[in-house]
């Protein structure tokens, strides 16, 4: 963690609340508890931030939250000034002619409306950054998962009074992402050279309170996964084997592992695929299992010329080829977080080794295409001490 981030955090606090009074654990007249509440974080997280043990991500988010508080106060001050001017204008209007009175009133109301609009747009745009993944589309369930803790809504995450009861899955609740892109050939097309690129995933995980028959209470997670995938075509239509796949070993070659579609002019992007499906994770002391159920997908940014030239049946890709990909068998993942307190934002991952085949048939070589899909923890809903034992 950069020392400058800690210093900047302290400077922002002093600018907002006043000098740090270490003897009384205050900034100006504001207690640590009040400030933690303003920043929408727990007291333990605030202590980490104050004493320099927090992560860079925690400092970045907290500094951003302080800046938002300062901007909100500035907007409120501007609103109050506008209201004061409006009241003075009203007094003046009573002594002026009717036409002039309405002109001044319209101007004052315009000032108020603009100030209110700025505040409204800012506050409604201040949902967590996870709801804005930088694309046109955001996670479909973001309004349900990602509001501020004190907003008027019922969060799907566990209440603090429930987290020990549903340990260890309570530690996994929050926002996850795709830990690394992965790529696969897409069979079932008229010509070779069509590929799938798993680009990114925006995932919300929550504990299941009902479907716990196999793993037991506190060991089942439900995940809502929104994926951005891409379809690429090899313009030279190179046969997959032997250049990119070794049929005898049933593994991809180093040439395929190092292949970057984006940086190789031989490959052209055909379309972007948006997918949504529901995962079920079962957590055991030594392993984690995952099963996925697709909930639909659609294509955007389609290059119709490439589709025609290389005879790519996008409907077949969406319905059958990618449909089979979502039904692939994946091995259990070793569980390195038997103690759920070991989970760390931005660092902890769970990965699954999978085999992709077409329905019940193999791909002509007695096996499937291997790939690995992993998830990285980006933001925990609850990160304080959990007391369930590691057995």
pLDDT at 200: 94
Claim to verify: residue 346 and residue 234 sit in the same structural domain:
yes
Separation of alpha carbons 378 and 201, rounded Å:
11
Global confidence as pTM: 0.63
**Rounded CA separation 10/5 (Å):** 9
Q: Are residues 190 and 104 in the same domain?
A: no
Residue that terminates a domain, selected from 62, 95, 124: 124
Query: Do 110 and 152 belong to one domain?
Result: no
**Do 318 and 203 lie in a common domain?**
yes
Contact 17, 30 (CB under 8 A): yes
Number of helices (H), then strands (E), belonging to the chain: the values are: 11, 15
Asked whether 160 and 382 are in contact (CB, 8 A), the reply is yes
Tell me, yes or no, whether 389 lies in a domain.
Answer: no
Q: Helix 43-50 and helix 3-17: axis angle, to 10°?
A: 110
Q: Decide which of 128 and 180 is more confident.
A: 180
Same domain membership, residue 116 and residue 209: no
User: Which of 21-35, 142-156, 231-245 has the highest average model confidence (pLDDT)?
Assistant: 231-245
**Do 376 and 305 fall into the same domain?**
yes
Domain check: are 119 and 162 in the same one? no
Does 390 fall in a domain? no
Q: Is 335 helix (H, G, I), strand (E, B) or coil?
A: coil
Specify if 92 maps to a domain. yes
Residue 136: inside a domain, yes or no?
no
Evaluate if residue 125 carries a pLDDT over 60: no
Q: Residue 1 pLDDT > 80, yes or no? A: no
Residues in the chain: 391
Q: Is the pLDDT of residue 262 over 60?
A: yes
How many domains does the chain fold into? 2
pLDDT tier at 132, thresholds 50, 70, 90: very low
Evaluate if residue 240 carries a pLDDT over 80.
yes
Round to whole Å and give the CA distance between 62 and 9.
8
Find all residues with CB under 8 Å of 19, minimum gap 6, and list them.
27, 28
Separation between Cα atoms, residue 168 and residue 386, nearest integer Å: 8
In-domain check, residue 388:
no
Residue 135 lies in a domain: no
* Same domain as 156, residue 92: no
Q: Report the chain's mean pLDDT, rounded to a whole number.
A: 85
Buried b (16+ CB within 10 A) or exposed e, 319-347: eebbebbeebebeebebebbebbebebee
**Do residues 173 and 114 both lie within one domain?**
no
- 89 is a domain residue: yes
How many Å apart are CA 292 and CA 277, to the nearest integer? 7
Of 212, 229, 225, nearest to 273 (Cα)? 229
The answer to whether residues 101 and 150 belong to one domain is no
Lowest mean pLDDT among 233-242, 254-263, 267-276, 364-373: 364-373
For 18-27, 244-253, 255-264, which range has the lowest pLDDT when averaged over its residues? 18-27
- pLDDT surpassing 60 at residue 136: no
pLDDT in tens, 308-359: 999 998 888 887 777 766 666 789 999 999 999 999 999 999 999 988 887 6
* CA-based nearest residue to 202, from 13, 77, 379: 379
Nearest to 382 by CA among 143, 144, 207, 224: 207
Residues 157 and 63 in one domain: no
pLDDT tens digits for range 188-230: 788 889 999 999 999 999 999 888 778 788 899 999 999 999 9
**Does a structural domain hold residue 324?**
yes
Buried b (16+ CB within 10 A) or exposed e, 276-315: bbebbbbbeeeebbbebeeeebebeebbeebbeebebebe
Domain extent, residue 34, equals 3-124
Task: Provide, for the chain, the percentages of residues in helix, strand and coil under a 3-state DSSP scheme, each rounded to the nearest 5.
Answer: 35, 25, 40
Are both 229 and 376 inside the same structural domain? Answer: yes
């Amino acid at each position: 963690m950069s020392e400058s981030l800690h210093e900047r955090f302290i400077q922002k606090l002093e600018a907002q609340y006043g000098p740090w009074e270490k003897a009384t654990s205050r900034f100006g007249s504001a207690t640590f508890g009040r400030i933690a509440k303003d920043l929408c974080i727990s007291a333990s997280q605030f202590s980490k931030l104050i004493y320099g043990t927090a992560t860079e991500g925690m400092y970045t988010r907290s500094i951003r939250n302080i800046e938002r508080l300062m901007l909100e106060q500035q907007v409120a001050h501007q609103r109050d000034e506008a209201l004061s001017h409006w009241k003075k204008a009203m007094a003046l209007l009573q002594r002026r002619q009717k036409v002039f009175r309405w002109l001044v009133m319209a101007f004052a109301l315009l000032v108020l409306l603009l100030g209110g609009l700025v505040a409204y747009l800012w506050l409604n745009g201040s949902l967590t950054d996870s709801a804005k993944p930088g694309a046109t589309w955001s996670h479909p369930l973001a309004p349900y998962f990602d509001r501020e803790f004190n907003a008027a809504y019922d969060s799907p995450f566990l209440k603090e009074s429930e987290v020990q009861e549903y340990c260890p899955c309570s530690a996994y609740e929050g926002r996850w992402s795709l830990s690394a892109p992965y790529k696969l050939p897409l069979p079932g097309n008229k010509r070779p050279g069509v590929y799938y690129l798993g680009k990114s995933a925006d995932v919300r995980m929550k504990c299941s309170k009902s479907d716990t028959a196999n793993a037991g209470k506190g060991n089942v997670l439900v995940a809502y996964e929104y994926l951005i995938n891409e379809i690429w075509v090899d313009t030279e239509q190179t046969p997959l084997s032997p250049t990119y796949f070794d049929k005898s070993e049933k593994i991809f070659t180093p040439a395929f592992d190092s292949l970057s579609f984006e940086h190789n002019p031989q490959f052209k992007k055909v379309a972007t695929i948006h997918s949504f499906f529901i995962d079920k994770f079962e957590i055991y002391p030594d392993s984690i299992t995952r099963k996925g159920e697709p909930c639909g997908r659609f294509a955007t940014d389609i290059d119709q010329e490439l589709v025609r030239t290389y005879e790519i049946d996008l409907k077949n890709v969406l319905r059958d080829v990618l449909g089979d990909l979502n039904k692939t068998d994946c091995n259990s993942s070793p569980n390195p977080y038997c103690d759920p307190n070991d989970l760390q934002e931005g660092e902890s991952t769970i990965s699954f080794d999978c085999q992709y085949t077409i329905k019940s048939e193999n791909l002509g070589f007695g096996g499937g295409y291997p790939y690995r899909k992993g998830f990285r923890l980006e933001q925990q809903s609850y990160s304080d001490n959990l007391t369930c034992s590691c057995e």
